[in-house]
Structure 1
Amino acid sequence: MRAPYLAPLLIVLCGAGPCQREEREVRPDPAAVAETDERVALSTITAGPAAPVVETSGKGRDYETNAYHLSQGKTLYKWFNCNGCHANGGGDSGPPLMDDKWIYGGSIENIVAAIREGRPNGMPSFRGRIPDPQIWEIAAYVRSMSGNVPAAAAPSRSDSLHARPAENRQTPSPPVPGGSTPPSGLMPE
């Protein structure tokens, strides 16, 4: 004999699907990738009564909220030797990237423009040297250094910054011999 509540329960369970996964565009076709045309303002000061013109594509949101793009940006940050000038975000010969003081604006679009176009007194232009999607990934990672991305998507701290090697990189140690069995481990008499 079947219970009357099983049929509606079965319908509800069949309708509940799995959670939606994060969309990942691993590598777009290089021939189809063109630079985005972002208009960013470096300052709020303008001549005349109108505010500066800012036009963004919204592409930055896609990169800042995607854990895959952020982790790729972390890898590219090291590969393109951004550490050489900015260290691990704390600054060296280049300015620090972990604070809230940004000379040319702290939005992802401003960071993309700084990487692509370069800046006076040190920051070289990487236009034509780094593909546009990778520039966006690096910029998203730079924003994550100062905590400007969702915590669920932010990459973790590098193993090289820990005081000891990661657990999976340590040499396995043999079990410690000897010892006595505690009373809780003995058979009752």
Structure 2
Amino acid sequence: MQWEDEETYLEVLKTAIEKAKSGNNLVTIGIKPQHPETGYGYINFKKITNEIFHNNPVHKVERFVEKPDYDTAVKYVESGDYLWNSGMFIWKTSTILNAIKEYMPQLYSALNVIREHFDSDEIEKVLYEEYSKLESISIDYGIMEKAKNVYVVPGDFGWDEVTLLICSKDEINNVKRNIA
């Protein structure tokens, strides 16, 4: 991925990693809105923070908001209390597994079955069987909107989702990234 300001991006990423490592925290990177946008989800956060890592603030997430109408997007941007949801998440494996266990128990069970068969000749069959049983739900809906230990690191490094990825789906609707 290319950023207009790669150095700032790396500092924001380091901040998110430090916050994730400092406890059982689910961390996301929020993008400072450049304009009202109805095509992105937003992250509402608490402005008051006592946490600074790598000279970047870390805020407690209040809520995630799906793609708003234009008038609502204008209010979000003007308030300064919202960031665009980048879909970038940082956490320890143990933290996300605990969250999956609590908020998405069916997925947790499937992951355990897959783990048990990971090195077997049956792994492809098991993957297909287990994934076909699962509800199609994003990490945002399944975990991030429910968990209480979610934090956001604001980023302003020249991000534009439309130009980042060109994706296609395979025969079972898995998204694949096409790299030129």
**TM-score, length of structure 2 as denominator length:** 0.28
| Bigger radius of gyration | 1
Larger strand fraction of residues: 2
**TM-score, length of structure 1 as denominator length:** 0.27
